[in-house]
Amino acid sequence: MNQPNEEFQDVYDQLSALAPGSEDAPRSAAQMLASVKRAAAPRPNPIQNLIRSFNMTLSRRATAVSLLVVLLAVVLLSFPAVRAAASDFLGLFRVQKFATISVSPEQIAVLERMAEEGLTPGEFEIHAEPVEIGPAPNLSLAADAAGMPAVRTIGALGEPQEIRVMDGGSGTLTINLEGARAIVEAAGVDPLLLPDSLEGAEVNVTVYPSVQQMWADEVVMAQMPSPLVEYPGNVDTTVLGEALLRVLGTPADEARSIAQSIDWTSTLLLPIPQEAATYREVIVDGVSGVAFDSIDSSASGLLWQKDGIVYMLVGQDGIETLLGLAQSLR
């Protein structure tokens, strides 16, 4: 440490009266460092809060199971309706619509037991994890950073208080046929519905960069190009969709009927635990979307897809308020 110039020693002597004494010593550096890192950690935004409120109604194990279910949904929804002639043909799946299915607490318990038995549909390897690129000063730069031609905003709310850009991510699921069949069988479905060709099949999932805008009262809108799934194209997705619905607890005849009415090549199934949220179909931004309310009334959300972009609008003042805000999209 440099010693102060003696020319001003009288002044420094007086200033030393302000120095902290032993009783004014701060908390330990290690404690302070831990506080700094906690405070610097990204604050969960309302979208994350909503997801958390979904998960809070489930046990930790059940949460893992629900993730497994979502993963299974991705796998099963990733196969085209039309069988391809060549087994190594790669098809593309992009989310265009959403379908929801309520999962009962009893079925969650069934899924828990599956998890306890270690049943998984395969190995999922993450190649690039979505991370935050950073805050953006305006929507134009956010669009550039996210690789989107433009970013839409809620006109009624004015300038967003914060604009954040998240990087994309990607991963590959390598299917373990034995595990996938065991899951299906545990749900009371004929395991041979899953063909032998599924063994070792790879499904590549790509999530693109997204832009999140935040306003007062924790209103948040996120938008991102529709995720892309590349898959081998030799499976009857209607049959697999039916199997998935059965795994999620839908009675056999109902599952068959629903499976045949859904275009599985473009519809993302959202399994929603009954104890976490209620949902309904709504018209938003001129298209069909899904609205949901968390059971604890802490958050509501809208989810829709338009022109290749998936949108999510979340707030605390209920679905009707969000639908009103969505009318001012520009």
Partner 1 sequence: MFSRVRNAKLSHGNDESVTILTDSLLLQRAAAGDETAFDTLFYRHYDRVYGLLYRLVGSRAEAEDLTQEVFVKLYKQFMRKRPFSSNPPPHKHNISGWLYRVATNLGYNAIRGRTRRWQRDTVLVPDPQGTPGAEHEVEGRERAAAVRAALSQMPQRDVQLLLLRQTGLSYAECAAACEVAPGSVGTLLRRAAENFREAYQTISGEQPPAADR
Residues that bind partner 1 (CB under 8 A): 1-20, 24-27, 29, 32-33, 35-37, 39-40, 132-137, 141, 145, 165
Distance CA 288, CA 329 (A): 16
Distance CA 245, CA 236 (A): 15
Cβ-based nearer residue to partner 1, 36 or 192: 36
Cβ-based nearer residue to partner 1, 92 or 150: 150
Q: CB of 222: closest distance to partner 1 in angstroms?
A: 18
Q: CB of 168: closest distance to partner 1 in angstroms?
A: 14
Cβ-based nearer residue to partner 1, 32 or 109: 32
Cβ-based nearer residue to partner 1, 6 or 253: 6
Cβ-based nearer residue to partner 1, 31 or 327: 31
Cβ-based nearer residue to partner 1, 137 or 149: 137
Residue 76 tokens read as 């099963």
Q: CB of 218: closest distance to partner 1 in angstroms?
A: 20
User: Using the 8-state DSSP alphabet, how is residue 26 labeled?
Assistant: P
Where residue 308 falls (left for φ over 0; alpha for ψ -120 to 50; beta otherwise) is left
Q: CB of 14: closest distance to partner 1 in angstroms?
A: 5
The half-sphere exposure of 262 on its side-chain side, counting CA atoms within 13 A, is 31
Task: Tell me the residue ranges of DSSP E strands in 97-161.
Answer: 97-103, 122-128, 132-135
DSSP per position, 238-268: HHHHHHHHHHTT--HHHHHHHHHHS-TTTEE
Distance CA 240, CA 195 (A): 10
Distance CA 241, CA 264 (A): 7
Residue 231's SS3 state is strand
Q: CB of 136: closest distance to partner 1 in angstroms?
A: 5
Q: CB of 141: closest distance to partner 1 in angstroms?
A: 6
